[in-house]
Amino acid sequence: MSRLILFNKPYGVLSQFTDANGRPTLKDYIPAEGVYPAGRLDRDSEGLLLLTDDGRLQQRIAHPRNKLEKTYWVQVEGAPSDADLAPLHRGITLKDGPTRPAKVKIIEPPDLWPRNPPVRYRKRVPDTWLEIRISEGRNRQVRRMTAAIGFPTLRLVRVKIGRWRLGKLQPGEWLEMEV
């Protein structure tokens, strides 16, 4: 049996077990030996990170050719219209090439834990929550996509990878399952 850990990565934590600069890492939260992240989540992003001790499963989850869908709740600066979001639906070209089409919709603000530090609030600038589903995972891709259409990301929380969901896990909590 393979081990699989579902972890709610807090803001500011690196998706690795060591850091020469002493920043918070996975080892500060997960005492399990012999598991490794299946993919990454940026230091300034939050939410679901999967870890496993099975190299094949890790490859199946993380490798772009497998097109495993990832779902993000993204708070953006501004109020995008459907027309503003249309380029994401078609796929846009970033510096490292075209993206696959994304599934994007405006959602009500989700019931999430407070972020520490909080997202800066600006009285005169609205913000909007989006649900973005992509089947690739380039470096900072979602942030670059929203910036490319003129709506910078303020907060990004990954809530689902393939069939695995964040569920009720709070930041820093993890759940181990056998697969």
Same domain? For 19 and 91 the reply is no
- pLDDT for the residue 17: 95
Global pTM value:
0.95
CATH number at residue 153: 3.30.70.1560
Same domain? For 7 and 42 the reply is yes
3-state secondary structure the chain: CCEEEEEEECCCCCCCCCCCCCCCCHHHCCCCCCCEECCCCCCCCEEEEEEECCHHHHHHHHCHHHCCCEEEEEEEECCCCHHHHHHHHHCCEECCEECCCCEEEEECCCCCCCCCCCCCCCCCCCEEEEEEEECCCCCCHHHHHHHHCCCCEEEEEEEEECCEECCCCCCCCEEEEEC
Same domain? For 59 and 29 the reply is yes
* Candidate list 42, 44, 54, 127, residue with the active-site label: 42
- pLDDT for the residue 120: 82
How many structural domains comprise the chain?
2
Same domain? For 49 and 130 the reply is no
* 44 is known as an active-site residue: no
pLDDT tens, position by position, 28-48: 999 878 999 999 999 999 999
- pLDDT for the residue 164: 97
Same domain? For 167 and 90 the reply is no
pLDDT tens, position by position, 62-118: 887 788 999 999 999 999 999 999 999 999 999 999 999 999 999 999 999 999 888
- Identify the domain containing residue 136 by its residue range: 69-161
Same domain? For 80 and 157 the reply is yes
Same domain? For 40 and 54 the reply is yes
Same domain? For 93 and 130 the reply is yes
